[in-house]
């Protein structure tokens, strides 16, 4: 499902952000990426969606050869991945409903599909009542749930989240994790880069710990 083989990435400034990384994540797994700030967690996620291109090595994701694929195929890779960021990245002048519908429209969904799917997604993240509010009328936790509904809009095989709870208080953070877990239960592979120690400890999922661009631990039911 997601495979990294001897992946290297050096940024233009000369920072070796990823330095020979190997791992395999099976379909349906739930994986935490942990490690100190600057260890290369975000870079790993960016390599998966080809926001950054690896200098060497192989990345296979949903059967795409991510490193060597042509630029024009990148949109199709990304359609098979849902992405959630720390800062939500919602469109402020669109309602909750439109923010989710927008994601479906981008990938050519029909108006009927959109009308059917968006309410289902909003109820999954518990926001049916807020469909016609704007992002600035929502709490941080609610905004992140909208972002998750949007990430799920196109039924991705993989959901990746970069510090999804980084801007949230513990209560909202747990709500996000509960939803991520539920999504995972339905069969979606979930990869979460995080600093949230207590969450990682409690959930006892697979943990891949990074330091200075290398994997220093890969544990089946790990703690932080």
Partner 1 sequence: MGRLFYLIGQGFENVLKNKLMFIASVFIITTTLIMLGIFTIVGENANALVEQMKSEQRMQVWLDGDLASDKTKEVGEKLKKVQGVDEVVFRSKKETIDNMRELYFDESTIALTDGWEDTNIYATDSYIVTPHDLTMGKKLQEDIEKIDGVNRVAFQEETFTKISKIADIIKVVVLIILIFLIGLSFLVISNTIKLGLHARRKEINIMKYIGATDNFVKTPFVIEAIIVGLIGALVSWLVTIALYDIFKSVVMSNQILFEPLTLDRQILTMNVIIGTIISCFACLSSINKYLKV
Ligand X SMILES: Nc1ncnc2c1ncn2[C@@H]1O[C@H](COP(=O)(O)OP(=O)(O)OP(=O)(O)O)[C@@H](O)[C@H]1O
> Which residues are at the interface with ligand X (CB under 6 A)?
11, 13, 15, 17, 35, 37-43
25 binds, among Mg ion, partner 1, ligand X, none (CB under 5 to 8 A by kind): none
Residue 40 interacting entry, from Mg ion, ligand X, partner 1, none, C-beta within 5 to 8 Å by type: ligand X
Which CB atom, from 41 or from 145, has the smaller least distance to ligand X?
41
105 binds, among ligand X, Mg ion, partner 1, none (CB under 5 to 8 A by kind): partner 1
Site for Mg ion contains 39 (CB under 5 A): no
Q: For Mg ion, which is the closer residue by CB, 42 or 99? A: 42
Residues near partner 1 (CB under 8 A):
49, 72, 75-79, 83, 89, 91, 102-103, 105-108, 110-111, 150, 153-154
Instruction: Find where tokens 């941080």 sit.
Output: 140
List Cβ neighbours of 81 (8 Å cut-off, separation of 6 or more).
48, 49, 61, 62, 156, 157, 158, 159, 160
Interaction between residue 99 and Mg ion (CB under 5 A):
no
- Measured between alpha carbons, how far is residue 53 from residues 34, 68, 69, 189 in Å? 21, 9, 10, 22
Nearest to 157 by CA among 63, 34, 58, 51: 63
d(CA 70, CA 189): 24
**Residue 110 contact, options ligand X, partner 1, Mg ion, none, Cβ 5-8 Å cut-off depending on partner type:** partner 1
DSSP letter at 113 equals H
Is 42 one of the binding residues for Mg ion (CB under 5 A)?
yes
Closest to ligand X by CB, 12 vs 63, is 12
Spatial separation of the C-alpha atoms in residues 214 and 7, rounded to whole Å: 10
With CB under 5 to 8 Å by kind, the binding choice for 77 among partner 1, Mg ion, ligand X, none is: partner 1
DSSP label at residue 72: G
Q: CB-wise, 52 or 98, nearer to ligand X?
A: 52
Write the CA distances from 127 to 130, 167, 174, integer angstroms. Answer: 5, 19, 16
**Closest-CA residue to 186 (of 34, 44, 30):** 30
Q: For residues 51 and 197, which CB has a smaller minimum distance to partner 1 in the complex? A: 51
CB of 33 or CB of 81, closer to ligand X: 33
Hey, is 210 helix, strand or coil? strand
Residue numbers 153-182 binding Mg ion by CB under 5 A: none
The minimum distance between CB 112 and Mg ion, in angstroms, equals: 39
């Amino acid at each position: 499902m997601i495979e990294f083989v001897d992946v290297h990435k050096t940024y233009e400034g000369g920072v070796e952000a990823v330095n020979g990384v190997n791992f395999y994540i099976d379909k349906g797994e739930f994986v935490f990426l942990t490690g100190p700030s600057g260890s290369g967690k975000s870079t790993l996620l960016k390599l998966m969606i080809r926001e950054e291109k690896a200098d060497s090595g192989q990345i296979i994701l949903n059967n795409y050869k991510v490193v060597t694929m042509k630029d024009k195929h990148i949109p199709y890779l990304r359609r098979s991945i849902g992405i959630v960021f720390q800062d939500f990245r919602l469109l402020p002048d669109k309602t909750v409903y439109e923010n989710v519908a927008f994601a479906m429209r981008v990938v050519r969904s029909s108006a009927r599909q959109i009308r059917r799917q968006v309410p289902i997604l909003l109820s999954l993240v518990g926001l049916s009542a807020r469909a016609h509010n704007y992002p600035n009328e929502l709490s941080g936790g609610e905004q992140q749930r909208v972002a998750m509904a949007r990430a799920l809009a196109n039924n991705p095989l993989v959901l990746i989240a970069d510090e999804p709870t980084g801007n949230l208080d513990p209560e909202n953070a747990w709500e996000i994790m509960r939803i991520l877990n539920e999504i995972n239960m339905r069969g979606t592979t979930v990869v979460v880069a995080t600093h949230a120690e207590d969450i990682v400890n409690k959930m006892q999922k697979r943990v891949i710990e990074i330091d200075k661009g290398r994997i220093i631990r890969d544990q089946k039911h790990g703690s932080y």
